[in-house]
Amino acid sequence: MIIIFMVLMFITVHRIASFQIRPLKCKPGYRVSSISRVMINGISSYDVECMPFSDNPERIKDITCSDGTVPICNGTLGGCDQHPDSWIGGVKVVPYEEDSSVEMLSLIPYCCNASNVLVHGDTCRHSRLSSLGRLLTLATKPDEIMQGLSCQVTRNHNGRIYDVTLKVRSCRFEIEQECCNKYMFGYFLHNFWNKEKTA
């Protein structure tokens, strides 16, 4: 099942002023699998798709979520860096104005982690979505989650922004078996160590 959120990106100052912050959160056991840019009736839009980690989303245990690092449009990667096994489980769309010469929206990631989802930080890759390029969608592979998010603006010789590039960091994940859950294993080692000390 795919959950598609349509987010209109308003262009004029009036539209930006009237835009309300809108949190778009995936259901528990789901992750953001793609971010797309489209045009609807001449207005720029974002599609955010949520996909389940497995055929049975209830397999994902002890999920906790919180707001991630706010992306800064200077190329610095923000997102879900508070927890090594976190993933983007939604975004919060907010008006972003770097200066008076540009009006646009910013995506603030909503970060989640679970007791049995392991993210392989050494397998991450980066992809870009330019407002001027032909690529329309940034999508993860079936075994990947989105973990980082940033943006970069490009100006012309007059200082006006003519291109906005969205950058996403995607990493491989795996769902741990009940017998091998990293938190259960840590709990076992903790108890074993305490028994050895008191023996």
Q: What is the pLDDT of residues 107-116, one digit of tens each?
A: 788 999 999 9
* Structural tokens at position 19: 């835009």
* Closest to 2 measured CA to CA, from 137, 149, 108, 165: 137
The count of structural domains within the chain is 1
Query: DSSP for 49-60?
Result: EEEESSS-GGGS
Work out the angle at residue 60's Cα, subtended by the Cα atoms of residues 122 and 81, and round it to the nearest 5 degrees.
Answer: 40
Q: What is the pLDDT of residues 112-162, one digit of tens each?
A: 999 999 999 999 999 988 777 666 788 999 999 999 888 888 888 887 777
Q: In what order do the strands lie in the sheet with 144-155?
A: 78-79, 144-155, 161-175, 117-130
Per the CB < 8 A criterion, the answer to whether 169 and 146 are in contact is: yes
* Structural tokens at position 13: 């100052």
pTM of the model: 0.73
Note down pLDDT in tens along the chain; length 199 residues.
544 443 333 333 334 444 456 677 899 999 999 988 766 566 566 678 999 998 888 899 999 998 887 777 777 777 887 788 999 999 877 766 554 444 566 778 899 999 999 999 999 999 988 777 666 788 999 999 999 888 888 888 887 777 778 889 999 999 987 655 555 545 444 444 554 555 5
Range of the domain at 30: 3-198
How far is the C-alpha of 31 from the C-alpha of 123, rounded, in Å? 18
